Amino acid sequence: MSCFHVRPFSKRGRHTPMAVNLPLIGITIGDPAGIGPEIAVKTCCDAEIFDLAWPVLIGSRRVIEQVAVFRGSRSDVHGISDPTQGTYKRGVIDTIDIDNINTENMIMGKVQASCGRAAFEYIEKSIQLALCGALDAVATAPINKESLKAARVDYIGHTEIFAGITHTSDPLTMFEVDGLRIFFLTRHISLLEAVRAVTKDRVFEYIVRCTEALEKLGIKKGSHSFIIWYKSLDFSILNIYTWD
């Protein structure tokens, strides 16, 4: 699951049924025919999540209800139209219902234009809510790039969708695994385009930007590495340069 921190967590008073003001996280359910809805539902059924944040799913209520039944979940799916209507308590899956998919015609595990369009609309809604201050951050479940293409969506993936709707030029993407933080200099381009993108000026600019981004997250110490890695079905290229 990817997380997009749209703005700093707000400590303002929000109309909620609870006194503690935890970060309100919108979770898009991804492609309705994929694994995204199950991941999202499983997240909201984890009791520990409510000690850290208030989760609200963004997607088709009917899809979420089907997944909840499939998983044998005892949680109630609570359909809402606005985050302020959420209960944010254990045993309840608060869901901003976007009724944009016919579950009777949907085929699980298959590329479908209708599912690609639905997944895009969930992401679009989450961004709109975050930009207007209704959410503190957005987490996204997996989508299918082939379904996006079949739906004629003009973006190849999550990062590009967020960049386009928020009018962000050249956004940073970071993965974190066990304290290892990875930024991407290029994304979703051919080997030839990737080689052309690796210039001295661009690499230096990214090192500065990534360092500044880490400092905003409170990370000011550590080693840096610049890795040139290209992987395809036929071959792989890997070069690593490290400094403190």
pLDDT for 3 equals 55
The boundaries of the domain holding residue 235 are 177-243
Contact 87, 78 (CB under 8 A): yes
Per residue in 148-182, pLDDT (tens digit) is: 999 999 999 999 999 999 999 888 888 888 888 98
At 7 the pLDDT is 46
At 47-75, the pLDDT tens digits run: 999 999 999 999 999 999 999 999 998 89
Regarding whether 158 and 224 lie in a shared domain, the answer is no
With a threshold of 0.85, does the pTM exceed it? no
pLDDT exceeding 70 applies to what percent of the chain?
A: 85
Residue 134, pLDDT > 90, answer: yes
Q: How confident is the model at residue 239 (pLDDT cuts 50, 70, 90)?
A: low
Examine the domain organization and report whether 210 and 102 are in the same domain.
Answer: no
Residues 182 and 92 in one domain: no
> Which has the higher per-residue pLDDT, 11 or 163?
163
CA distance 142 to 28: 9
In CATH, what number is assigned to the domain containing residue 123? Answer: 3.40.718.10
Residue 198 clears pLDDT 70, i.e. is over it: yes
Of 147, 170, 193, the residue at which a domain comes to its end is 170
Tell me what pLDDT residue 4 has: 52
The answer to whether residues 160 and 192 belong to one domain is no
Same structural domain, 162 and 55? yes
pLDDT at 234: 63
- Asked if 31 and 112 sit in the same domain, the reply is yes
pLDDT over threshold 80, residue 240: no
Identify whether the C-beta of residue 214 lies closer than 8 Å to the C-beta of residue 181: yes
| pLDDT over 80 (residue 103) | yes
Residue 210 main-chain phi, psi, to 5 deg: -65, -40
Q: For residue 15, what pLDDT band results from cuts at 50, 70 and 90? A: very low
Per-residue H/E/C for the chain: CEEECCCCCCCCCCCCCCCCCCCEEEEECCCCCCCHHHHHHHHHCCHHHHHCCEEEEEECHHHHHHHHHHHCCCCEEEEECCHHHCCCCCCEEEEEECCCCCCCCCCCCCCCHHHHHHHHHHHHHHHHHHHCCCCCEEEECCCCHHHHHHCCCCCCCHHHHHHHHHCCCCCCCEEEECCEEEECCCCCCCHHHHHHHCCHHHHHHHHHHHHHHHHHCCCCCCCEEEEEEEECCCCEEEEEEEEC
Q: Are residues 215 and 196 in the same domain?
A: yes
> Which pLDDT score, from 0 to 100, does residue 141 have?
96
Last residue of a domain, one of 170, 194, 218: 170
Does residue 23 sit in the same domain as residue 113? yes
Res. 14: pLDDT tops 80: no
Q: Are residues 162 and 185 in the same domain?
A: no
Average pLDDT over residues 18-46: 91
Domains identified in the chain, total number: 2
229/183 same-domain check: yes
* pLDDT at residue 2 is higher than 70: no
Same domain flag for 140 and 224: no
Q: Considering 120, 155, 170, which residue would you say is the last residue of a domain? A: 170
Q: Tens of pLDDT along 117-130?
A: 999 999 999 999 99
**Are 35 and 7 contained in the same domain?**
yes
